[in-house]
Structure 1
Amino acid sequence: MKTDPERFILDNTSVLSPPHVPEIRLRLASEAHDLWLKTEEELEEIGLPPPFWAFAWAGGQGLARYVLDHPATVRGCSVLDFASGSGLVAIAAKLAGAAEVVAADIDPLSQTAIRLNAALNGVRIDHRGDDLIGQDLGWDVVLAGDVFYDRTFALALIPWFSRLAGRGATVLVGDPGRSYCPREQMHSLVTYEVPVTRALEDSEIKRTTVWRFLPDPAS
């Protein structure tokens, strides 16, 4: 990778607090379109995805808020934050008392962003950059913010989350009404009104629900 990940992130983000989770500080894009275009121009040749790590998405903000307000959900537990992006939810879990937290994201820039953001908040977060879908490493809690935006991705996640829930893991999903969210397979825990950037969403407030995944009755 020719571009230095840490330098790229430091040069193109500011330290901000997500509006729904003001306790946490992250390196985020202040100008969404500018960073998106810059990422495409500078990093497209090496095949990196769009900079999802540079934004506090509604599902992640809602899930992080829930974890901070209900620390017993993760306290003393081993936690996986799947598709972690900026590491927002992983950081919330660690601040809430999780024993160990793994932030998983296949974007190499996300790994650097998570490390920088964890340091900003004085916590230690482990990272996995491989594809964990279908794996079960014994996590007590699995957290996933805003992951049901793509049909193919959703079809891979749903049976995996069902199996994890079936063997006793707590699987929590933060979702702001994405098209492929399997609401019939989950139990609603709480709903928030989450402020977001209009540059990325269709409104300035996204109604975001935290769901608990239910085991598949057939499993």
Structure 2
Amino acid sequence: MARKLKTYQTSLGFFDLAVAAPSMKAALEAWGADSNLFHQGAAKESDDRGVIEATMAKPGVVLRRPVGSDGPFGENAELPTNLGDGERAAKAVRKSKGRNAKKPSTRPVDKAAERRAALAFEKEQKRRERERAGEEAARQKERERRQQAVDKAQTALETAEREHAKKVAAIQAEMEVLEKKSQAEDARWGKERGRLEAALRHARD
């Protein structure tokens, strides 16, 4: 069964972030936070009606706005025009909101809308999971492609080395045959020369 969504808000870097999620843990995962921003006091459940409506319209999607501003949240946001003032404003906003008790939302409860939002969040979460799985599959495919290229190059090198060794062995064998032929020819010529020189001496006598 789809869980009821809540709107969570934080500030990271140059942006305020907001997301509709079923739990703080899910919000942290959506933000890609590597620490518990809620325990650190850097994140909270939002009671701003405008923020709630924006996030509920796109459950699970992280919305942004320049840090310290009070403008609307959106999927894309420009950097703050004055980073120094923006940082001070963001701190002032967080400090003032921390002093005030959480106000109950005046938004009427719409059970059907909440169910739709919860289902939309699950759909967005599955989309992100598919996206991550697709990226991992692409990385795995690239690793396999590189390994195949390495294996192919290694096999080609080993094959060439074996072919070279065979040719060297064949050349050495031919050289040994030629050496034996040369030695046999030298022996034959030694005998032939001795016979011919003896005949020449006999003719002179």
| TM-score bucket (shorter structure) | under 0.3
Compare the two structures and name the one with the higher strand fraction: 1
Compare the two structures and name the one with the higher helix fraction: 2
* TM-score, normalised with respect to structure 2: 0.23
